[in-house]
A and B are shown apart, each in its own frame.
Chain A
Amino acid sequence: MSTQVRDTALFGLVAILLIGTGMIQGWNSALLILNMGLISAIMALGVNLQWGFAGLFNIGVMGFVALGGLAAVLVSTEPVPEAWQAGGLRIIAGLVLGALTVVAAVQAQKRLEGRTKTIATLVILVGGFFLYRAVFDPGKVAVEAVNPAVSGNLGGLNLPILLSWPVGGLLAAGAAWVIGKTALGLRSDYLAIATLGIAEIIIAVLKNEDWLARGVKNVIGLDRPVPYEIDLQQDPGFVERAASLGLDPVTASTLYTKVGYAILFTIVLLIILWLAQKALNSPWGRMMRAIRDNETAAEAMGKDVKGRHLQIFILGSAVCGVAGAMMTTLDGQLTPGTYQPLRFTFLVWVMVIVGGSGNNFGAVLGGMLIWWLWVQVEPLGLGLMNILSSGLEDGSALKERMIESAAHMRLLTMGVVLLLVLRFSPRGLIPER
């Protein structure tokens, strides 16, 4: 079987799984899985850029995804004028002061020598911190006091939410630049733990800085790029067309919006996939892989290893940011409490490894396939446990325990899948070529 036939067959398998889901569990579920699968595929593409192309071990995906979600809020929600009046400028001034402190400390590190360097850096950092808090805190308190039940934050720019997708990418790229500048010099294990920590910090900020995006009070009711179901149901033209297809208006409207999302997501996925393929097959992509395979040799040939690493770290993180903004758009809400590394970092890694690191199509396949599995393991596990325990009498402790345990099948299955692939097919389902 030629490789092309094999790859097509694998994508065909995903299609069959989705169609099967549609026929058995309903088309709404199938489209739900498809939409999140498309977003997961984009995240996997981002990680594949970093790990598959350049061998950068980033396990802070969650942080960049969350930044994308933040972008959705900052771009699309309406500004809160009272909050801006109460302390908006103070907050901005505080943030600028904080940034200046860091810049000053870095400059001191670069320009001074010996003991003066240490003392000056310490004085700048400690003094800057208290100055920043003195300016920033009153503003923060004032803003968060404005109508905390519905806002308590500065609000956004009231722009179309679709604009937040590229903005999410930019935000993530900015963060990646800062992180890359400090952490990319570290060795692989250390870089991994550094990125893990940075993701936790980003989530901590999102949870606690209420003036930014309401923290754990969540932002709900974000704009949508597709029409609302309720509007469709009241549109006589739509109801008529639904009826002509033999669908009732409620089902038709839910399917319509989901298909709308799916089309938008597919467009983004195709654009990013096309760009990634172009990059992979360009001289730049070959240089990246050369650096990945032998850093010392590449450096000896005059390649700027650190610079290239920074570049691809920013690009990959930006892709994750775009996916994060898309996901928040799909959810219609930002809930910082739901960002957990197992789901948003390690699961994406499973997708990349299973799909095939170093191959963009592999990443896409892995994203769709693993997401389907992640969703379906629970019902499948429950069914399995129901069959296995059917011999036991109702209400017995063992039976209840078995059925209850189906809820924990997910992590176990993901771990087993990852371990099996690593062991028996370490290059993934669609290996690098």
Chain B
Amino acid sequence: MSARVQLASIAGVILSLPARLVEPAMSGIQRGLGIKRMPWVFLLPNLVAVVLFALLPVFINVFYSMSGSDRLFPWDRPFVGGANYQSLLDCTNYLDPSTCSRDLFWRALGNTLVFVPVQVICMIAIALLTAICLNRDIVGRGFFRGIFFFPVMLSPVVVALTWQWILQRNGALNGLISAAGLTPVNWLVFPNTAFFWSVFVTVWAHMGFYTIILLAGLQAIPRDVYEAAKMDSATPWRVFTRITLPLLKPVMLVVFILAVIRSVQTFDELYVLTGGGPGSATMLMVQYIYEVGFASQPRNFGLASAASLFLGLALLIFTGIQMRISRGGNND
């Protein structure tokens, strides 16, 4: 008996219980409204949830970013126009965060601007290398695929605590280092090493996801293209740059955009691993939004909304540019 059939039958048994009540009700609705309106009945629950928790919040967010005070509900909040944006942008020297009235915002922005490209490039490079290795005729491919994917399943909190345990002063890494005769390092106490490990840990946790997508892309490349290259006795490097990369380009684009969107939203791992520290060395934008809007008193929802709109706008522009570039490339 296949696992698929088993899963389906278990789901079937569970789902049939409330169905006995729903079916007469839905038949009644159909008799009342007529068959033409039924698709809207099916759509309704999902549409309500989408509008309430995704589309409407975008508009409310715009209002939030233009209103002040620490009151939560929009009707309690006085309209302040661009004051929140002004406060975020209030700097005497834009290259030096400490001259800004919201210096933490600029530090978080700066960190994000360094973190995202470094993390995405490292992650995709490693994921691609891993996918290429896993695409070869090797023994135990399924096993290795599972191993590289495994951390994706772990919750970010578990990931962060795992690495914290390894990186702490008396941790396993320092144990290895001192066994090799070197002096142990306080990895998460210095800004530079903390930043390195924040990139490392997020790459470790998420690369498996992109490896699987890239692997599927690699397997979609027809084998005879490689056979032909072999006939022409092309070097492996040439095969990689002239065949694999160009044919993988559409998949790479998907992976790239997904990776950037995820990377910009990084929060959980670093919040638990470093708490944004030391100082503000690993504080990214989402944590800034959380700190300003939820963790600090008084809660500044207006500022948090303004910052999150910045983030959304930046993502939109980035995705647009990416799409444009890829389309331009295909026309050549």
The finding on whether chains A and B are genuine partners in a shared complex, rather than unrelated, reads no
Give the A-binding residues of B (Cβ under 8 A): none
Give the B-binding residues of A (Cβ under 8 A): none
